[in-house]
Structure 1
Amino acid sequence: MKIINATFFIKEYKRDKFLATVTPLIEATLLEEGCIGYHLYESFEEPNRFIMIENRKNQAAINAHNKNPLLLDLFNKLPTYSSKQPILTISTLEEK
């Protein structure tokens, strides 16, 4: 299983636009083949800091997701939404 944590630092005045962009992405992604989980959380300590936690069956599921037009739209808009560079962490959990 692949686990992806993406941390987004969103400008306060772009928050609503970010959420409007990411909400349909989440809904569509949950229906994708190989998606085990796809959840967005906001920090209590730092408003407008969001963490997307993805659980994918394998790398093929990630590769397919990376072609999703809604994800590509988010990537195109993210520089205008962000107050600083997002942080992306990818881990592999070996199943026994």
Structure 2
Amino acid sequence: MKKKLSLVAFIYAKPEYQDEVATKLKSLIDLSRSEAGCINYALHRSSDDPNVFVMYENWHDRSDLDQHFKMPYMQEIMKILPKMLRAPLVMHYLDMLSNPRASS
């Protein structure tokens, strides 16, 4: 049985790169959502600090997430993102204990 997995990524942009980081992260949404293993892929921006972004992702299992990170567009962003960040990317992997809410 597949074990559903969530990923929460905290991205801390340098102020001078906040718009570029936002654009780059937004470009990942449709590409990631089109992957077979993706359940949900959502981008958020902090209401308190416009330089802080949070990606919230749900995947059918770890192998789907691993495959996601191998996609060319993910490889590219992982190369260019570090120079635009004021702190290292923080990722938390979570085992999903409940099913995602069904879309209406």
Q: Same fold (TM over 0.5)?
A: yes
DSSP-derived class of the 2:86 partner: strand
- Distance in 2, matches of 1:20 and 1:42, equals 12
Please say if 1:64 is aligned against 2:67.
yes
In structure 2, distance between residues paired with 1:14 and 1:5:
21
Confirm or deny that 1:80 pairs with 2:83.
yes
Gaps of 5+ in 2: 100-104
Matches of residues 46-65 of structure 1 in structure 2 within 5 Å?
Answer: 46-65=49-68
TM-score by length of 1: 0.91
Q: Contact 2:26/2:43 (CA < 8 Å) preserved in 1?
A: no
2:26, 2:46 → 1: CA distance?
17
Q: Which has the higher contact order (CA 8 A, sep 6+)?
A: 1
The corresponding residue for 1:42 is 45
Q: Identity percentage over the alignment?
A: 24
The answer (yes or no) to whether the contact 1:34–1:57 under 8 Å persists in 2 is yes
Residue 84 of structure 1: SS of its match in structure 2?
A: coil
Q: Normalising to structure 2: TM-score of the pair? A: 0.84
Gaps of 5+ in 1: none
Deviation at 1:95, TM superposition (A): 5.8
Q: How many pairs are equivalent?
A: 96
1:94 Cα deviation from its structure 2 partner? 4.1
Does 2:33 correspond to 1:30?
Answer: yes
Runs of 4+ displaced beyond 3 Å: none
Q: Secondary structure at the match of 2:87?
A: strand
Greater share of strand: 1
- C-alpha separation in 2, matches of 1:45 and 1:58: 32
Q: What's the offset of the Cα at 1:75?
A: 0.7
Q: Distance in 2 between matches of 1:95 and 1:43?
A: 25
* Aligned-residue CA RMSD (Å): 1.5
